[in-house]
Amino acid sequence: MRPLTKREKFGLILVGIAAAFALIYLLILPLISGWRAKLGEVRLKEEQLKTARALAAMEASLRLLSAEVENELGARGDPILSDELMKRLQESFSIDELNRATAADLMKVEGMDAAKAAAIVSYRESIGGFSSFEQLRELRSSAFKGDEQAVIIGRVSALAKRAGINKIDSLTIRTIASSKPAQVSQKAKRELIRRLFIAEVKAQLRALESGSQLRFKTVFPPIPPQLPQELRIRVARMIVEKGGIPTRSDYQEVLDELLSSGESSPQPSDEELLPIEEELLSALGEEAIDIDPKAAMLTLLDYSKKVAAKEAELRGIVYGMAASYKPRLYQVDLIFKTKLENLVRFIAGIKDSLKWIDPRGLRIGVADEKKGILSVQLTLIATVL
């Protein structure tokens, strides 16, 4: 077998980079999916009533975060509403009526069962209401509902085809014996709390941008409603981009954008905030007639303080909960022939869209030197929670 060319070696480096696996997402899922069982346990103990209440209050937000994380992992299944059922819903309800409908109202539509109706109501509450019927297509089942091995084979085969690998000579899958349950780390619990906050801010942002009301009570304090809508929208966008609790300088950047259309200006002290009031009023328009820039900054800083306090409270609850997970592991072995660029595209696709699958073993030979075709043996490990 001839040695690999520099181009092929460079491609393999890219393969190695593409195979990086973000375990933190997989560690979050047991906390999300297992919260109901934990709620049932703690309700039996009066001394843990506070924990039970905290978990119950997190229900809507956890459901929202669960869908978001499943989407990031590529672990979402098929839409639960067929095209025909979608059509019947549009014939039966306007958007306003859909946003007011109860599960019982929805079940009057032919083909609508209790589970689908409950899912629609739950999703509607978590996103603050529907602005279009197309949002119903976001309602999906779990990717692993049914035969897990068939799901894995289907996902891997589809990705291979999209990468230009039209024929797989051999594809086998087997179960790997599970080890003892692993404890969920404090790092994963901390990440859960952070992601919960960001998911709620995203929901607030969607509601603000669509002009609708948030239809569920958030765990974390909402962005102060007394602030102008445009300022709240910009603060929400900044929080989502930052991925955490804002600081004074973060808020000042947002105010600077309103004052100078994105041009940076020096950060003023509290005493210097008042003179720029007229500029802020001009930037925010009529809605901000009574806004005091200094008061707005103090309100935002107080908001961050309250969010940090709630985060600390949740850490005290979640950190004290024993949480473990025992994933189901599958080994997938593939043999195929392809060009190097297709192989890189395939593994990069796994990294981007199927974060629950980890490329573990790779052997490459030369199948056709003239055509630049490689023979590939690839081993994947799929982790299902």
CB atoms within 10 A of CB 318: 23
> What is the rounded radius of gyration, in angstroms, for the C-alpha atoms of the chain?
25
Three-class DSSP category at 262: coil
- pLDDT at residue number 160: 92
CA 351 to chain CA mean position, Å: 16
**Do residues 179 and 234 both lie within one domain?**
no
**Do residues 61 and 170 both lie within one domain?**
yes
- pLDDT at residue number 133: 87
**Domain CATH for 83:** 1.10.150
Mean pLDDT by 10 residues, the chain (385 residues): 53 43 45 55 52 64 68 63 89 90 89 84 74 81 65 85 91 81 80 87 88 78 91 94 92 80 44 45 43 80 94 84 75 92 90 81 88 91 78
Q: How many domains does the chain have?
A: 3
- pLDDT at residue number 259: 67
- 120 CB-contact burial (10 Å; exposed 0-12 / middle 13-18 / buried 19+): buried
- pLDDT at residue number 72: 60
Query: Tokens representing 230?
Result: 């445009």
- pLDDT at residue number 77: 62
**Do residues 344 and 366 both lie within one domain?**
yes
The domain in which residue 166 lies consists of 1-74+147-184+323-385
E-assigned strands of the chain? 76-79, 140-142, 168-176, 182-183, 324-325, 328-339, 357-368, 373-384
**Do residues 98 and 211 both lie within one domain?**
no
Q: Give the pTM.
A: 0.57
- Residue 189 maps to a domain: no
- pLDDT at residue number 292: 65
Q: Measured between alpha carbons, how far is 122 from 100 in angstroms, rounded to an integer?
A: 12
Residues 282-306: tens digit of each pLDDT:
444 444 444 567 888 999 999 999 9
- pLDDT at residue number 376: 92
**Do residues 281 and 209 both lie within one domain?**
yes
**Do residues 57 and 155 both lie within one domain?**
yes
